[in-house]
């Protein structure tokens, strides 16, 4: 019987890496070690799936979304499953992530010439990305960031949208804003935080709650 490598298992623990980085006052410092450790172990981070997120696919399918050469940005793109999907729909797609390992792996996995991956930090965006994208997709990045940088992260995400462009944000939701938060991410968003995505010059078109996520503990 194989023995579990406890040391390797510990190194892979997202909660532990997050706790250490947050204690050091570095809200994004745990992502790169997590991707690097997972890669070294032949694994992927806990949130990764090989296909696009089903809620993104539902949203796109509902409206027969076509890129037709328009530009899209995927925030916190990880290993690129959502960006590859948008490229497949015909968007000229940039996936960016703060983790260089994630970006390297996404470039290696990519099968679309119209998808590219770059290292980028929401808190230090290249000026040329601001207002450059017809579609911006944010899934689960903001909820992985602590509350004191939430507003800044959402403002940075909205700044990517081209005039007349669109933003799709998917996150876990806190239906009870007063409920105590867990020590470790993700930290579901409040309605007030969701509303920041629609602050001018953007305008909220639709907020679509998906109820009873995780045994009814959260919505999305
Ligand atoms: C919980 S994961 C979600 C990944 C992907 N969006 C998904 O749905 O599977 C959050 C991602 O955001 C990235 N990230 C965190 N902070 C970031 C920042 N400041 N700028 C860019 N990417 C960031 C992380 O490296 C990670 O890939």
Same domain, 81 and 15: no
As beta bridge partners, residue 214 has: none
- The total domain count for the chain is 2
Ligand 1: does its nearest atom lie under 6 Å from the Cβ of 53? yes
Provide the domain limits for residue 18.
6-40
Structure tokens at 129: 């990305």
Same domain, 115 and 145: yes
In a domain, 176, yes or no: yes
Structure tokens at 164: 């007349």
Ligand 1: does its nearest atom lie under 6 Å from the Cβ of 121? yes
Q: What is the pLDDT of residue 209?
A: 82
CA distances from 130 to 125, 126, 155, 166 (A): 8, 7, 11, 13
In a domain, 213, yes or no: no
Q: Is the pTM of this model over 0.85?
A: yes
Q: What is the pLDDT of residue 216?
A: 57
**Which residue from 155, 98, 103, 137 is spatially nearest to 121, judged by alpha carbons?**
98
What atom in ligand 1 is closest to the CA of residue 48? 9
Same domain, 183 and 123: yes
Q: What is the pLDDT of residue 50?
A: 96
User: Within a 10 A sphere around the Cβ of 98, how many other Cβ atoms?
Assistant: 20
Radius of gyration of the chain (CA): 17
Same domain, 31 and 81: no
pLDDT in tens for each of the 220 residues of the chain? 445 454 555 445 778 888 888 888 888 888 999 999 999 999 999 899 999 999 999 999 999 999 999 999 999 999 999 999 999 999 999 999 999 999 999 999 999 999 999 999 999 999 999 999 999 999 999 999 999 999 999 999 999 999 999 999 999 988 777 777 888 888 999 989 999 999 999 999 999 888 656 555 556 6
C-alpha–C-alpha distance, residues 93 and 41, integer Å: 29
**Which residue from 48, 136, 154 is spatially nearest to 93, judged by alpha carbons?**
136
In a domain, 210, yes or no: no
- Helix ranges, the chain (H): 6-11, 14-23, 31-40, 54-62, 81-88, 100-109, 150-158, 191-196
Which helix H or strand E contains 133, and what residues bound it? Answer: strand 133-139
C-alpha–C-alpha distance, residues 192 and 175, integer Å: 11
**Which residue from 124, 169, 168 is spatially nearest to 149, judged by alpha carbons?**
124
Q: Say what angle helices 14-23 and 31-40 make with each other, to 10 degrees.
A: 150
Same domain, 127 and 94: yes
The CA 172 to ligand 1 mean position distance, Å, reads 14
The CA 10 to ligand 1 mean position distance, Å, reads 21
Which protein residue's CA is at the shortest distance from atom 12 of ligand 1?
Answer: 76
């Amino acid at each position: 019987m194989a023995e579990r490598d406890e040391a390797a298992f510990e190194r892979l623990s997202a909660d532990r890496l997050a706790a250490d980085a947050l204690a050091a006052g570095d809200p994004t410092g745990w992502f790169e070690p997590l991707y690097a450790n997972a890669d070294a172990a032949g694994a992927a981070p806990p949130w990764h799936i090989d296909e696009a997120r089903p809620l993104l696919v539902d949203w796109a399918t509902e409206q027969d979304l076509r890129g037709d050469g328009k530009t899209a940005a995927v925030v916190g793109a990880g290993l690129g499953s959502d960006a590859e999907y948008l490229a497949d729909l015909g968007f000229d797609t940039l996936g960016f992530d703060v983790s260089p390992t994630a970006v390297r792996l996404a470039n290696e996995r990519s099968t679309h010439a119209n998808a590219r991956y770059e290292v980028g930090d929401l808190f230090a965006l290249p000026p040329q990305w601001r207002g450059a994208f017809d579609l911006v997709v944010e899934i689960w990045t903001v909820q992985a960031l602590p509350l004191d940088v939430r507003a800044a992260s959402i403002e940075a995400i909205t700044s990517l949208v081209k005039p007349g462009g669109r933003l799709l944000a998917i996150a876990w939701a806190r239906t009870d804003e007063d409920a105590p938060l867990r020590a470790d991410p993700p930290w579901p968003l409040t309605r007030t935080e969701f509303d920041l995505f629609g602050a001018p010059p953007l305008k909220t078109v639709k907020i679509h709650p998906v109820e009873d996520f995780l045994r009814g503990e959260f919505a999305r």
